[in-house]
Structure 1
Amino acid sequence: MLIIDSSSVVPPLAGHELLFLFGQLFILLFTARVLGEVARYFDFPSVLGELLAGIVLGPSILGALFPGLFVALFPPNPAQYHLIEAVSWLGLLMLLVVTGFETDLDLIASRARRATSIASASIVVPFVLGFGIAWVLPSTFLTADGNRFVFSLFIATALSISAIPVIAKILLDLGIIEREISQLTIASGMINDTVGWILLAVVAGLARGTEETAITTAGTTIISLAIFLLLSFTVGLRLVSRLIRWVDSTFNSDLSLVTTVMILALGVGTLTHALRLEAVLGAFVVGVLVGRVNRFDQGVRHVFEVITLGIFAPIFFATAGLRVDLTALTTPSILLVCAVVLAVAIAGKFIGAFVGARGAGLSNWEGIAIGAGLNARGALEIIVATVGLSLGVLTETMYTIIVVIAIVTSLFAPPILRFAIDHIELSGEEERRLQRKQRDEQSFLGSVSRVLLPTRCSVHAQLAAQLLGHIGRNRDIEVTNMYVVGASESKGSSIVSRIRRRLSKHGSNTPDPRSNGGSSARNHTENAVAENCLDIATQQLSLSEEMVHNRVRPRRGPVGETVTQELHRGYDFLVLGMGTENGEAGRETRDGGMKTENGETGRRPGDGNGRPLFDLGIEDVLQATSTPVMAVNANVDSGNGPLDSVPIRRILVPTVGTEFSRHAAEIAFEIALDCNALVEVVHVIDLRRLQELFVGEADVSEAVEIGTEIADREAMLGRQLGANVLTDVLMDDHPERAIINRATTNEVDLIVLGSELRSLSQRAFFGYHVEYVLKNAPCSVAVVSSR
C-alpha cells in the first residue's frame, strides 16, 4: 500500500507570491487599459497603448527613472515573472481563438493562390536580407561560442516571421477584420507563421545538434502539421460541431458554451505544443472550427470576445512590452546596429509583401495595406527571441534589438494600415458579402438555431413541418419533434424508443416492454402511435438526420405545461399546427386535451365552428412563454395518413411595416427560395380608419405613398436574398376582406401573416383581422408572432 508522506505534497503559493501576482496583474491591466483608451482617443487601435504599457512599466522607463520602485513592483525573481507569463499565455490563446472566430475559411480558400503568393514573397525577401545583415554584423554581437551561420539563419527567421495575434487585434480595433483585404492578410499571415515555425524548428535543431538532426526535426514538423490540419478540418470539424450542439442542447447556457470553447483551446493547444507546432496554432484552429458552428451564436461569441479583449489580451500585450530594456541602446554602436536591422526588417517584409501582392493582381494600396499588416511582429517575435536566448544563439544585446523590432513594427503598422485601407474601395462582390453577413446577424432567422415542433400529426402540424423544412433547408437549424404521451408513460421508455428509432430508418411500432411495473395495452399502443407520428413528422421535415431530433415526453399535468417545460431547454422558435385532429374539440383528458378549472371538460373559443384554435392545449403555452411562434392552419385535406407534399407556387404577405410583418416576410422569402415560389407583398389601407382622421373626403394619396414605401422596404430583403417579389397597395373598408379577395383572385397557396400574440378571454389571440383571415382564407395560413 502506497502511503504519501505529507512532505511530498507540493505546498501552495506563499502569501507574498500571491500578493505580488495580484498586484502585478492589477498594475499591468490598469495601465494597459488606460493607455489603450488613450490610444483610441487619438484614433489609434488600443493595442498600441497596451504594448506601450509594458515599456512604460518595464526597465526602459520605470526601471530607469525609479529603479527602487521598479524592483519593488517586479522583483528579479524568475518564478514570480513566470506566473505573470502564464496568465499572459492564456490571453494569447484566447486572442487566437477570437481570431479564428473572424476567419472566413471559404473566403481564404477562394483566395488561396493570392495568399500563397503574398506569403512566399513576404518570407523569402526578409529572410535573404536578414541573413545578409547578420552575416556582416561585428563579432561582438555573437555569443562566445556562437556559430555565425546558425546565428545568421536565426536572425533571418526572426525577421521573416509575422504575428497573427497583433495583426488580428489591429484589424479588430480598426473594425475592418471582415474586409476581404483583412482576410487575405490573415490568410497570408497564417502561411507566413506556419513556415516561420518550421524554419525556427530547423534553426533550433542546428543550434542543438547536427544538420541531420535539423532535417529530421523539420521533416517531422511538416508531417505533423499536415496530419493535424487534415484531421482538424475533417473529423475535428464534425466532432466540434456535435460537441457544441450537445452542450447547447443539454445545458442551454452561454456559460457552458464559453467554457467548452476554452477547454477545447487548452486541450488542442496542448496537443499542438506537444507536436512542436506551438499552442497558438491549436487555439487558432479551435476558433476557426467553433466559428463555423451556428449554435455558437453572436451573443456567446461576443461574451468570449469581451472577456478576451477586455482582460486577458491587454495583460498579454503589456507583459510582452515588459521585457524591453531600451537603456541597452544608449551605446552608439548598438543603436546604429539596431537602426540598421530595424530598417532591414521593415523594408524586407514590406517589399516582399508588396511584390507578392502586386504579383497576385492586387492594387498598390492593397499591397501597401498587406505590407503594413504583415510587418507587425508583436509578441511572436519576442517568443522567437526568447528561444534564441535560451539556446545560446543570441546575446542579451541582440535579444533587445529583436524585441525592439517587434514593438516598433507593431506600433507603426496600424496607422499605415488604416491609411491604406481608406484608399481601398469595396468591390461589388465584397460589398454584397458584407451586407449579407450584416443582414444575417440582424435578421430574425439569423438568431434561430433550435426549433420545437410539438405534434400529434394533425394535418396542420404536418404542414407546419413541411414549411419548417423549407425554412431550414438552407440554414443551420435544428428541429425537435415532440410528442406528449400519457402521464403513466415513463421517461425511460421514451429514451428506449428514441434509440430504437435511430437504429431503424422508419422507426419501430413495437410496443416498449418497459414501464412502471409493466405497461398496459393502452400504453403499448400509445407508444407505437407516438413513434409513428414522429416518423411522419421527420419525413415531412425532409431535413438531414443530424438536424432532426425526436422526443417523447410524458405528460406532467396539463399538456401545455409539459410543452412549456420543454421550451425552457433553450429553444429559439416554436412552430405548431392549429386546430385539432379529426375535428375534435379540445380535451384535457388522459390523452392530453383541455379541462376547465373545476375539472369539467369543456370547449374554448375557436374558429367559429366550435373547434379550438390550437391542438394539444397549446394556448396555455402561448400565454406562458415569450418564445417566437409560427402557427400554421393547413386548410387542406390529408385523410388519416401522411400529408402529401403541398405545392407552394405563390405566397401572399400582408404587411403594415411592423417588426412582426418584417419577420413574417423574412420567413416567406426563405420558403419561397426553397420552393421557387413568387412572393406578393401587399399593404392594405384601412379606408374606415383613414376617413376617421379627416373631416369630409379623405386624401388617400399620402397613405398610398406610405404604403408603397412599406411594401417596397419589405420586398427589398427578399430581392437581396434572390427571391421573386411583387408589391402592391390595396384599399378597402375591411383590410382582412381585401386579403382574402387577393388570395382568391391570384390563387395564392400560402398566406404568411405577422401579428402580435396577446391574451383575450383565457385564449391566445392574434387579433380580429388575423383570425378573420384564418377562418376564411382559401389556402393555408401561417401566422408569425416574434413577440
Structure 2
Amino acid sequence: MELIEPLGHHELFLVILQLTVLLFVARVLGEAFSSIGQPAVVGELLAGVVLGPSLLGVVVPGAYESLFVVSESQFHLLEIISWLGLIMLLLVTGFETDIDLVISKGRTALLLSLGGILVPFVTGFALGWFLPSEFIVSADDRLVFSLFVATAMSISAIPVIAKILLELDVIRRDIGQLILAAGMVDDTIGWILLATVAGLARTGVADLDSAAVTIVSVLAFLGAAFTIGRRIIADTIRWVDNVIGGDIAMISTVMLFTLAAGALTQYMGLEAILGAFVVGVLAGQVKRFSYRVRHVFEAVTLAIFAPLFFAIAGLRMDVTVLADPLVFGVGLVVLSVACIGKFGGIVSVSGLAGLSKWEGITIGGGMNARGAMEIIVATIGLGLGILTTSMYSIIVVVAIVTSLMAPAIMRWSIPKIEMGEAERKRIERERYLQDSFVNNLDRVLLPTRGTADTQYAARLLSPLFRNLQTDLDLLCITPSTETRGSSGGVRDRIRRFVTRLGDRRGDGSDRNRVNRKGHPDSDETERVFSRIEQQLGTLSGETRRLVRETDGSAAESILETAAGGYDLVVLGERTLEGSTDASLFSPTVDRVVQETPCPAMVVSASGVDGREPTKMDEPIERILLPTIGTQASRHAAEIAFTIALEERALVEVVHVVTSHRSDDRFVARTPPPQEVEIGERIVDREAELGRQLGANVVTTVLFSDSPGEELVGIADRTDADAVIMGSNKRPMTRRAFFGPNVEDVLTNAPCPVVVLSSP
C-alpha cells in the first residue's frame, strides 16, 4: 500500500494564512455592522467580497493572487472548513427549533412554502425562457436552462436566515419558527427540483425516477430520525453523561451524531445540512444536553466557523463582470424577478395562512435571502455546463444581495409584529426553564431503607419528576460479604471494587442492580425497592436500582455515590427526639447533609407517622411555602409549584417579619410599614413564578417574634398537607444546622416537612 504524502509545508502555511485573514476581516466587518444596528452576518458575507476579485483583486492584485488565486485542490481545503461551518450552523439552528411548535403551525408553514416555491419557480422559468442567448451555453438547452433558473429562484438560505434570526434574538418567537419551518420545506422541495433538473441536464430527459427516489429518501430519513434516531440520540447522550460526564464529552457526542447524519444524507443524494439540522432538533429535545452546553457550542460556532463559512461563500463573487452593460442590465432583471417572485409569492399567501401584513412582509423578506444555498446551486449549474460564467456571476450576486436585504427588511418589520399573550407566556416560560433549578435536575439520588419517610419522599418525587426527563437512582446500602462473615475471597473483592467503580461513574449496568443470584439480602432489598417504586409510579426519566455493599459507614457510601455527578440527593429522615447532641437527624443523614457536594432535600414525614404506605397516595391539597427571598427559597418554591401543578394543590406563600426586641440595641430598626412592604415584595416575587407556571397561589405576610412557631401554627390552622422550605446550611459544630426557625418547623409541624439545602 502506497502511503499518502502529507500536506506540503507551503500548502499548510497558505491555508492557515487564508483562514487568519478571512476570520479577521469577517469578524471586524461583523462587529462594524453590529455597531450600526445591523446583523453581523451582513459584514461576514461582505468579507469575502472585500477579499475577493471584486475589491482586493482590483486594489492590491498581488496580495489577492498570492492569497486566493490558487489551485483547485488548495481552494478545496477552504471549502472543507466552509462546509464544517455550514454543518455546525445548521446544528445550532436545530437546537433552537421547537418541533412541536412547527408541527402545530404546519398548515401555515406549508402554505407559506408553497407560495415561496410556486411563484418564484414560474417567474424564474419565464425569465430563463426569454433571456438573451448569450447567457445560455447552448441554444438547444433552453428548457433545461429555464428549469435551472427557476430552481435557483425558488431556493432559500436557511443558514443565513438562521444567523439573522439568532442575531435579532427572534428565533424562538412564533415568527422565527415559522420562517424556519417554511424555509426547510422550501429547501427540501428545492433539493428535489435540483436533483430532477440535474438529471435532465445529464441525460437530456426528465429523470422522474430520480425525483421520486429523492422524495422517498427524504421521507425515509425523517421517519427514521424522529423514531429510532430520537431514541438512540437520547439514550446515548444520557449514557455519556452518566459514564463520562462533562461538557467536552457531550459536545463531542452531538458533533459525532451530526457528522454521521450529514454523511448519511449526503450519501443518500440529499444535502449534509439536512442531517445536521435534524440532529440539532433531536439533541435540543434531550434534557441532559443542557442550555449551558448548547451555549458553549453556539458560541464557538458563531465566533469562528459561521463567519468563515459566510466569508468563503462571498469570496466566490466577482462584481467586475457587472461592468459589462448587458450583464449589468440582465443582472438587475434577474435580481428584480428573484425578489418579486419570492417576496410576492409569500406575501400573497400570508393572508390565506391567517397572518398579518407585517408577518407576511417579515417572512417574505427573510426567505428572500438566497445566501450560500444559491451559490451552491450556481456552482452545480456551472459544473454541469448549464450556466455561462456571466450567468453564474449574476446568480451569485443575487445570492449576496438578497442576503444583505433580508436583515434590513426583518429589522424594520419585526418590531411592528405584536406578540400575542400565548406567545409571550411561552417565551417567558422558556426563559424561566433555562435557569430553572427543577428543570435542570438531570440526575437525582434517593438512598433508601424502605422507611415511611423515604416512601413519602418518593411520593413527592412522583409529581415533581413525572413530566421531566430526570433520571432517578434508588440506592440501597447493604452489609458487605466480609461483614456478614463471608470468605471474602479474591472474586468478592474484585466484584466489590467493580461495583464501587460503576457507582462512581453512574453506570447503569447490571452489576449495580439488585437481585443478584445467591445474595442473602436480595429478598429484603427487593421489598425495599418495590415500596419506593410503588410510590414513584411512572416517570418520564429512567429509574434505576443501585446496591452498594459497605463494611463501614453508610454515609461514606452515599457520599461516594453522590460525588458521581448527581444534581440532588433526597433523604427521607424522621427528626430525632431526645438526642443528647441536639442533632435533628441520624448520624448518617446528618453527615450526608453536611458533606454532600450537591444540594440535599430532606423529607421528614412526621405527619404520616403510623400510616401504612398505601395510604400515602392521598392527594396533596394544600402546601405551605415559607420564604425569605433567598435563592434556596426560590428553589424550594419551584419544587412546591411543580408538585402543586400535578396535584392541583393550593400553595400558600408565607413570609414572617421578625419583630426586633427592645434589647437589640445594635440593630438598626426598620419601620414596620417598610418591613411589610419588603415582605410583600418577597412573597409577590415567588407568587408571580407560581402563577407563571400555572399554579394556584395565595400570599401571606405577618409579624412574629417566633417565626418557626408561627409557621407551625399556620400549617396547623390551614390543615396543610406539606411544608416545603429552602435553607442554607449554617456552620455548626458536628451537626447539620439550618437555623432555629427551620428546625422548629421540622420538629413540630403537624404534617410532612421538606427542607432543601444548598451545599
Structures share a fold, TM > 0.5?
Answer: yes
Select 1:619's aligned residue among 576, 590, 594: 590
1:282 maps to which residue?
275
Tell me if the contact between 2:583 and 2:590 (Cα under 8 Å) persists in the aligned partners. no
Tell me if the contact between 2:467 and 2:539 (Cα under 8 Å) persists in the aligned partners. no
Tell me whether 1:738 sits opposite 2:710 in the alignment: yes
Report the secondary structure of 2:288's partner residue: coil
User: Superposed, which structure 2 residues align to 1:140-539 within 5 Å?
Assistant: 140-144=134-138, 147-211=141-205, 214-488=207-481, 490-491=495-496, 512-513=517-518, 524-539=519-534
Tell me if the contact between 2:641 and 2:690 (Cα under 8 Å) persists in the aligned partners. yes
Tell me if the contact between 1:46 and 1:173 (Cα under 8 Å) persists in the aligned partners. yes
Tell me whether 1:761 sits opposite 2:754 in the alignment: no
Report the secondary structure of 1:684's partner residue: strand
1:126 maps to which residue?
120
Report the secondary structure of 1:422's partner residue: helix
Point out the more displaced range, 78-87 or 477-486: 477-486
2:571 maps to which residue?
576
Report the secondary structure of 1:680's partner residue: strand
Tell me if the contact between 2:371 and 2:403 (Cα under 8 Å) persists in the aligned partners. yes
1:653 maps to which residue?
625
Tell me whether 1:57 sits opposite 2:57 in the alignment: no
Q: 1:616 to 1:401 in 2, by over 3 A?
A: farther
One-letter code aligned to 2:452: V
1:718-776 deviation digits (Å, cap 9, x = unpaired)? 12222111111222211111011111111111011111013311211111111111111
1:251-306 deviation digits (Å, cap 9, x = unpaired)? 11111110011101100011111111110100000000001111111010001101
**Structure 2 gap segments, 5+ residues each:** 482-491
1:784 maps to which residue?
756
Q: Name the CA distance, whole Å, in 2 between partners of 1:781 and 1:69.
A: 74
User: Superposed, which structure 2 residues align to 1:105-124 within 5 Å?
Assistant: 105-124=99-118
Point out the more displaced range, 721-730 or 535-544: 535-544
Select 2:677's aligned residue among 693, 701, 705: 705
* CA displacement at 1:455 relative to structure 2: 1.6
* CA displacement at 1:210 relative to structure 2: 4.0
Q: Name the CA distance, whole Å, in 1 between partners of 2:530 and 2:284.
A: 32
Q: Name the CA distance, whole Å, in 1 between partners of 2:453 and 2:53.
A: 74
Q: 1:352 to 1:786 in 2, by over 3 A?
A: farther
Report the secondary structure of 1:476's partner residue: coil
1:6-61 deviation digits (Å, cap 9, x = unpaired)? xx111111111111111111111111111111110111111011101100111111
* CA displacement at 1:144 relative to structure 2: 4.0
Tell me if the contact between 1:378 and 1:406 (Cα under 8 Å) persists in the aligned partners. yes
Tell me if the contact between 2:655 and 2:701 (Cα under 8 Å) persists in the aligned partners. yes
One-letter code aligned to 1:486: P
Point out the more displaced range, 316-325 or 224-233: 224-233
Q: Name the CA distance, whole Å, in 2 between partners of 1:609 and 1:565.
A: 28
1:360-419 deviation digits (Å, cap 9, x = unpaired)? 121111111001000011101100011111111111111111110110000011011011
Fraction of identical pairs, as percent? 49
Tell me if the contact between 1:663 and 1:786 (Cα under 8 Å) persists in the aligned partners. no
Q: Name the CA distance, whole Å, in 2 between partners of 1:235 and 1:568.
A: 33
Tell me whether 1:771 sits opposite 2:743 in the alignment: yes
Q: Name the CA distance, whole Å, in 1 between partners of 2:352 and 2:613.
A: 64
Aligned CA RMSD, in angstroms, stands at 2.4
Matched positions, count: 741
One-letter code aligned to 1:618: V
1:714 maps to which residue?
686
Q: Name the CA distance, whole Å, in 1 between partners of 2:623 and 2:288.
A: 30
Tell me if the contact between 2:465 and 2:540 (Cα under 8 Å) persists in the aligned partners. no
* CA displacement at 1:114 relative to structure 2: 0.7
Tell me if the contact between 2:38 and 2:408 (Cα under 8 Å) persists in the aligned partners. yes
Q: 1:620 to 1:694 in 2, by over 3 A?
A: closer
Q: 1:530 to 1:696 in 2, by over 3 A?
A: closer
* CA displacement at 1:712 relative to structure 2: 2.0
Select 1:675's aligned residue among 635, 647, 651: 647
TM-score (norm 1): 0.90
1:684 maps to which residue?
656
Tell me if the contact between 2:573 and 2:589 (Cα under 8 Å) persists in the aligned partners. no
Q: Name the CA distance, whole Å, in 1 between partners of 2:723 and 2:107.
A: 48
Q: 1:501 to 1:74 in 2, by over 3 A?
A: closer
Q: Name the CA distance, whole Å, in 2 between partners of 1:498 and 1:301.
A: 25
Q: 1:322 to 1:691 in 2, by over 3 A?
A: farther
Q: Name the CA distance, whole Å, in 2 between partners of 1:45 and 1:688.
A: 56
Point out the more displaced range, 81-90 or 442-451: 442-451
Q: Name the CA distance, whole Å, in 2 between partners of 1:744 and 1:81.
A: 77
Report the secondary structure of 1:747's partner residue: coil
Q: Name the CA distance, whole Å, in 1 between partners of 2:704 and 2:582.
A: 29
Point out the more displaced range, 719-728 or 104-113: 719-728
One-letter code aligned to 1:384: V
Q: Name the CA distance, whole Å, in 1 between partners of 2:204 and 2:448.
A: 71
Q: Name the CA distance, whole Å, in 2 between partners of 1:640 and 1:683.
A: 34
Report the secondary structure of 2:273's partner residue: helix
Q: 1:121 to 1:482 in 2, by over 3 A?
A: same
Tell me if the contact between 1:444 and 1:663 (Cα under 8 Å) persists in the aligned partners. yes
Q: Name the CA distance, whole Å, in 2 between partners of 1:115 and 1:697.
A: 62
TM-score (norm 2): 0.93
Q: 1:442 to 1:695 in 2, by over 3 A?
A: closer
Q: Name the CA distance, whole Å, in 1 between partners of 2:118 and 2:508.
A: 58
2:537 maps to which residue?
542
Q: 1:69 to 1:667 in 2, by over 3 A?
A: same
Report the secondary structure of 2:656's partner residue: strand
Q: 1:607 to 1:288 in 2, by over 3 A?
A: farther
1:747 maps to which residue?
719
Q: 1:525 to 1:645 in 2, by over 3 A?
A: farther
* CA displacement at 1:624 relative to structure 2: 2.8
2:76 maps to which residue?
82
Point out the more displaced range, 375-384 or 707-716: 707-716
**Structure 1 gap segments, 5+ residues each:** 514-523, 584-605
Point out the more displaced range, 611-620 or 745-754: 611-620
* CA displacement at 1:498 relative to structure 2: 7.7
